[in-house]
Amino acid sequence: MKATLGTILLAVCALPAASAAQTSQPIIVVDGVPVDAGAPVLRRGVDALNPVSNAFRSIAQRQTKNITDAAEAMPADKYGFKPTPAQMSFGDVVAHLIQEGNDELCSASSGQKKPERPKFSGTDPKDKLVAGLKESFQFCATALAAMQDGQLGDSMPFFGGRMATRGLATLITVADWADHYSQMAIYLRLNGLLPPTAKRGAQ
């Protein structure tokens, strides 16, 4: 059962300040009642230690499904489609997500070495690109599994040979997924197809 924000605030204010100051672990409050550390809801307290990393993993799971479903929804003969000559083709977007997107960004966010893969091109067959996309998201899931908020300030090599924190790489990764899913959704709609999220919303 979820505690409301108001209930949590009232419970926190009612706790003695001295007791809170001596507590090294977050106080778990459910329905206004502090919960013993050995209670079944302890997992919430553990998760609260890494709220950013846990949110990142949750977004990764959702975007893995959205982007993979979009890649599968586009017919193979439309992978060369681009709205204008200056834009990336649908296949280019998928190839970019595999290499510069998932492998590079999930590596920088997690500190894990990126996998060695053959090069992907937007002109590769759909089956090869979709398989590569799924493998790259699997790398992200594995690499991000052990990520902790305390590591977000660590510096890592990033694009252009510069250094960046894992926190910055995390934010860029989330933005990159959102950017390219919306791009893929537009390409699908321009070909008379509903994007995966629109399909699920209509059901």
Q: How confident is the model at residue 203 (pLDDT cuts 50, 70, 90)?
A: low
> Alpha-carbon distance 114 to 138, whole Å?
12
Q: Which residue did the predictor score with more confidence, 34 or 135?
A: 135
* Cβ–Cβ < 8 Å for 10, 32: yes
> Which pLDDT does position 6 carry in this prediction?
44
Confidence of residue 189 (pLDDT cuts 50, 70, 90): very high
Q: Which long-range contacts (CB under 8 A, 24 or more apart) does 155-160 make?
A: 156/108, 156/111, 157/108, 158/108, 159/104
pLDDT of residue 80: 98
Which residue in the block uniquely carries the two structure tokens 């846990």?
54
For residue 99, what are its two tokens? 């290499």
C-alpha–C-alpha distance, residues 193 and 48, integer Å: 40
Max avg pLDDT among 2-11, 38-47, 150-159: 150-159
Distance, in Å, from the CA atom of 191 to the CA atom of 36, rounded to the nearest integer, reads 56
Q: Given a cut of 90, is residue 30 above it in pLDDT?
A: no
- pLDDT at residue number 178: 95
Residues 37 and 62 sit within 8 Å (Cβ to Cβ)? no
CB atoms inside a 10 Å sphere around CB 181: 21
Q: Where are the alpha helices (DSSP H) in the chain?
A: 5-14, 17-22, 42-48, 51-73, 90-96, 104-110, 126-144, 166-190, 196-202
pLDDT 10s digits, 125-173: 999 999 999 999 999 999 999 899 999 999 988 877 789 999 999 999 9
What mean pLDDT is predicted for residues 112-126? 93
At residue 181 the predicted structure's pLDDT band, cuts being 50, 70 and 90, is very high
Cα distance between residue 122 and residue 119, in whole Å: 10
pLDDT bucket at 49, cuts 50 / 70 / 90: confident
pLDDT in tens, 61-114: 999 999 999 999 999 999 999 999 999 999 999 999 999 899 999 999 998 899
